Each structure stands twice: as structure tokens, then as C-alpha cells.
Amino acid sequence: MSSTSHSPSPPSPRSPRYGRLLSDFSKGETYEHPWDVTIDAGTIALFQASFLDATPTYASAAFAGALGFRDRPVHPLLLLNLGLSFSVHDVSEQAIAHLAYIDVRFPNACYAGDTVRASSTVIDSKPASSGDRGVVHVRTVLETDAGVPVCTFERKALVRAGKIEGRPEAPWTGQERVLGDVPRLPAELRERITLPTRKGGFAGFYEDFAVGDVIATDVGKTVGESEHMQLTALVRNSHPLHFDEVYCKENSFAKTRVVYGGLVLSWVTTLASRDTTGNALWDLGLDAGAHPGGVVGGDTLYATSKVTDKKDHDALTGIVTFRVVGTKNVPGHKLLAEGKDLFGAELDKKDPAAKVKEKCVEITRTVLVRKRPV
């Protein structure tokens, strides 16, 4: 008598997927992002060590204390990167590209020891005429566990059409943060400003800038492979485009890992900082930002800035607006010498011949700058 043995069927694994496709977005919906992160001194130190930023308020506890802050505030670019990255889990982990930064503000100071979380509300979602993709517009609020908003912004992402399968059910019903008119200055700088007395420091006081000035950095920053992946993980960006080489061979335009755009923005603006924000007191906002081209490990970044506006704020400070452009592998001054339109919005150019293929980021940055001491 014989018997036939049957091997057990292999288990059918679950493969959860995150982010959303175009039909998963509904106007007015709010997503409570799951990341809940305490910003410790180590995170701040690693960020400061990775970006050569000259703005004294974010680097020096003594300088910040003289302005009225209880410690040096967390760098606004770190806050923006955390807010962007937290939102990837619910908004853009399936996205093709990040299209725009809109009305970024830093209304309150954040400090080491604060715990931050974020939520995003869908403002709009529109299919493209091709039908295979569309644009999603969201508003994100990064706030402390005490409910104090420390970074607010809008952004647009290009997302594939369809509905996602395998996404776990959201455990919480989201609630939109209605903030009213979000201030551009923290409370410590909204009243009378008292400037610290210090010797040394960088050039570039309010009086030294004139509308139309162009400042091109001659020193670049080469992006390391392990470096950009470590910083992507530091800010909790979960898009595999930035760290999964197998995924990228099928899904990346470069067929390899692409540097997360928030890091590109941060490297470019901080490359410009010795020439533009060495006497800045606070970032009043970022706007009209885009990534015209991608960056991969090994690319070298350069920054070029143009003064587009300036105005008095009070007896001790003024407001300066820069259009900051990042280029890869070619310094901006060389492109300008070739007659390239470096400061025209790249995505608005209709003539292919007018496009600057080396551009990788462009954004408007407005800062509060101290006047020359008398």
C-alpha cells in the first residue's frame, strides 16, 4: 500500500505598499503621518556637520541667546527636510517626481529635545492630459508635540494614475490644521530686535546687497553615495528611489539611486551662505522652488544667487530676497559666461534651446539680515 505525501503550500506573503496613486487622493483629506521623532543634539550636530552653513543664529547658542532664543534653534532646512520626508509615507512614496516648493515658512523656533510630527492636507489633484499620471498638491504642517507649528509649506508631486493595492488601513482619521495667517518670524524676533555684539563673522550686511547683484560660488560640493543615503534615513525619507539600487534599476530615470531633492536644496543654499546669509538672523521663507534635473552620487553641486528684492525692516535689520540656483558639475559663473539663462524658471521655458540642463534646483529665499554695525 502506497501513500502520496503532499508538500504544504508555501505561505502567501503580504507586501505592504505605501504612498498613494492618483485616484487614492481626495481633495480636503488629511493624512496624519506616522513618524514621531525627537530631534536630539546628535541629529542637529550631524546636520550641521553635513551642510557648511554660515547663518549664525542656527550655529551658535551664544548668538541665538543674545537674540532672545533659549538655545540655538533647529536649522529651518532640517525642519523642512523632516516635514517633506515624513509626508512621503502617505503622499509621495509612489511619486514620479517632486515638482514644486510653495510658500515655505518657519513661524516658531524648534529646539533640541522637541518631538515633531506632521500632517498633510490635499489641496487638489488633477490628472494630466496623457491619462497615465497627474499632479497632487498638498499642504503640510510640521509641529511639536505641544502643537506649535515650526514649518509649514505646500508642495506638488507628479504621481502615476491608478489606485494602490496593499496599503495598510490608516489607523487614525486626519484633521486639517487651520493656522490662519502663519507668521514669518518667530516670537523672539517679532518685537524689538537686540543684536549681539561680536567680533569677526562674515561679510554681507544688508547695505552690501543691491537688487540685480549676482553672487556665484566657486567652490562646489561633491555628493557621496553613502552620505546622501545616510542623510535620507536621518530625516526619515522612505522613497526607495533614494536608497534601493534594485528598485532603481527598473524605476529610476538614472537607473541608479537619485539624491533626495531636499538634500540637494540644502547643499545648494548652504553653499551660498557664506556670501549671502553670514549675517542673516532668520529665514522668512522659501517659495517658487523646483528641481529641473536630478542628481546622483558623484555629482558636484554649485550655487549661484541673484538679489531680486530688498527693503528695510527696522533700524537694525533689512529683508533681502535671493533667487538661488543650483547647478551640477559646472559652476554657475561659467554658464552665465556662455550666455545661459540661469535665473529664468526652468519649467516655464518653452524653447528647448533655452533650457539649462545643468540646473538641478531653483528657489526664492527671503531672509532677515542685520545692517552694518555702527
Average pLDDT, the chain: 94
For 189-201, the pLDDT digits (tens) are: 998 888 887 777 8
Determine which of 72-76, 88-92, 188-192 has the lowest per-residue pLDDT on average: 188-192
- For residue 158, list its beta bridge partners: 97, 135
Residue 361: pLDDT over 60: yes
| pLDDT (mean) for 254-283 | 96
Q: Residue 214 pLDDT > 60, yes or no?
A: yes
Residue written as grid cell 548668538: 63
d(CA 129, CA 126): 9
Which residue segments constitute the domains of the chain, with CATH numbers given?
Answer: 17-165 (3.10.129.10), 202-223+259-374 (3.10.129.10)
* Banded model confidence at residue 31, pLDDT cuts 50, 70, 90: very high
Residue 2 binned pLDDT confidence (cut-offs 50, 70, 90): low
Distance CA 102, CA 285 (A): 9
Query: Averaged over 260-280, what is the pLDDT?
Result: 97
pLDDT of residue 201: 85
Give the angle 94-99-103 at the CA atoms, nearest 5°: 120
pLDDT greater at residue 347 or residue 39: 39
Q: In whole angstroms, what is the distance from residue 68 CA to residue 50 CA? A: 27
Average pLDDT over residues 163-178: 88
For residues 134 and 160, give the distance between their C-alpha atoms in angstroms, rounded to a whole number. Answer: 6
Q: What is the pTM of this model?
A: 0.94
pLDDT of residue 149: 98
pLDDT beyond 70 at 328: yes
Closest Cα partner for 44 from 114, 100, 98, 97?
114
Based on its alpha-carbon atoms, the radius of gyration of the chain, rounded to whole angstroms, reads 22
DSSP calls for 82-147? HHHHHHIIIIITTEEEEEEEEEEE--S---TT-EEEEEEEEEEEEE-TTSSEEEEEEEEEEEETTS
**118, 87 Cβ separation under 8 angstroms:** yes
CB 321 within 8 A of CB 308: yes
